[in-house]
Amino acid sequence: MTDQPPASYAGPQRVLSGVQPSGALHLGNYLGALVKFARLQHEQDTLIFVADLHAITVWQDPALLATQTREITAAYLAAGLDPAKATIFPQSAVTAHAELGWIFQCVARLGWLDRMTQFKEKSGKHKERSSVGLYTYPVLQAADVLVYRATHVPVGEDQKQHLELTRDIAAKFNHDFNRPGFFPLPEGLIEGPGARIMSLRDGSAKMSKSDPSDNSRINLTDDADMIAQKIRKAKTDPEPLPESLEDLKTRPEADNLVGIYGALAEMTKAQVLAEFGGKGFGTFKPALADLAVAKLAPISDRMRRLMADPAEIDRVLAAGAEKAREVAAPTLDEVKKIVGFWR
């Protein structure tokens, strides 16, 4: 092994991200991920996939999985992704993800995976009954990103640790095979007011598709009554909203609702408090519900219209898969050569 300093990656900038078809999309997915995708497609080469390989790390009803994949695609389009700009595709349709994923399983170290907090949260008390895939899923995620040599990954804050693992895998591959700069060390695009939306029932848990309580989240497909009801029932304390950001810090549920209001209204939390500080939740919650309905109703309307024509969604996914395969193929080919496989 030479001891020359690693050259940095010199290839093009590229954005990649995805969402699992593991249930209904919620406000956290929208603010933490979809809004960013729609913006970035205008700035950089952007690939956005539906993470069906990741979804099956926990049980998915086979009769629903393809429909859920179309639903995520409809949400992408409804949130403003344009198939003429971004490459939109199902992960399982590009086999290069799984192939590179295997090679990366042999690069990543067990100790690295043992530190992943999301596995601990998702497996809960029944670690030994979890699928092996749930444990190794961050390694496949590294392959998702690096098979396209993506340089930027827009995700919510919960993905920060997995992204660090992706960088570690890229660096170790480059080092072990003495190919400095072969893979980029991708950067997360995490910042933003919607990076970590919390559950409406528990200010210490993030809003999740897989949370068994539907009242914990606002789904993109919830109607106005449902949104108002969920916000009315959202866990809060009896105090009015504080006047200062400092006082908000010790009140996670209030902090979350103020954060959601700010993200939807494109206001800082301080601006939200300037308007609602000192007022009770009896005033704030209905205002938040009205705002959420005004912002989400057009998206859920578009989703419904798109879902009425699944053949069109399938055309988008098929065309995207073809494009993605073309981008991934030369990298996977080169990796196989680097590893020394017979060809």
Q: Where in the sequence numbering do the catalytic residues fall?
A: 122, 206, 209
Per-residue interface string for the shown chain with ligand ATP, residues 284-303, x marking contact by CB under 6 A: --------------------
- Quick check: 25 and 73 in contact, CB under 8 A? no
Task: Rule CB under 6 A: say whether 162 interacts with ligand ATP.
Answer: no
* Binder among 206, 263, 320, 321 for ligand ATP (CB under 6 A): 206
Closest by CA to 70, choosing from 340, 309, 274, 320, is: 309
Q: Does 33 bind ligand ATP (CB under 6 A)?
A: yes
Work out how close the CB of 243 gets to ligand ATP at its nearest, in angstroms, rounded to a whole number: 26
Residue range at the interface with ligand ATP (CB under 6 A); choices 2-10, 152-160, 175-183, 325-333: 152-160
255 sits near ligand ATP (criterion: CB under 6 A): no
Number of chain residues interacting with ligand ATP (CB under 6 A): 20
Q: Write the CA distances from 168 to 104, 149, 150, 172, 178, integer angstroms.
A: 11, 14, 15, 6, 15
Q: How far is the CB of 157 from ligand ATP (least distance, A)?
A: 7
Instruction: Give the integer Cα–Cα distance in Å for 119 and 195.
Output: 20
Residue 340, by phi and psi: left (phi above 0), alpha (psi -120 to 50) or beta? Answer: left
Indicate the residue among 107 and 116 with the shorter CB distance to ligand ATP: 116
Our finding on whether 20 is near ligand ATP (CB under 6 A) is yes
Determine the interface stretch with ligand ATP among 163-171, 176-184, 188-196, 263-271 (rule: CB under 6 A). Answer: 188-196
Nearest to 313 by CA among 90, 131, 35, 60: 90
First-last CA distance in the chain: 24
The nearest distance, CB 217 to ligand ATP, in angstroms, is 8
By CB under 6 A, tell whether 138 contacts ligand ATP.
no
The Cα–Cα gap between 227 and 288 comes to: 10
Amino acid letter, 206 = K
207 counts as binding ligand ATP under rule CB under 6 A: yes
How far lies 135's CA from each of 115, 165, 319, 320, in Å?
11, 13, 31, 28
**Looking at 45, 52, 158, 253, which residue binds ligand ATP (CB under 6 A)?**
158
Give the interface with ligand ATP as residue ranges (CB under 6 A): 19-20, 22, 28-29, 32-33, 155-156, 158-159, 194-197, 206-210
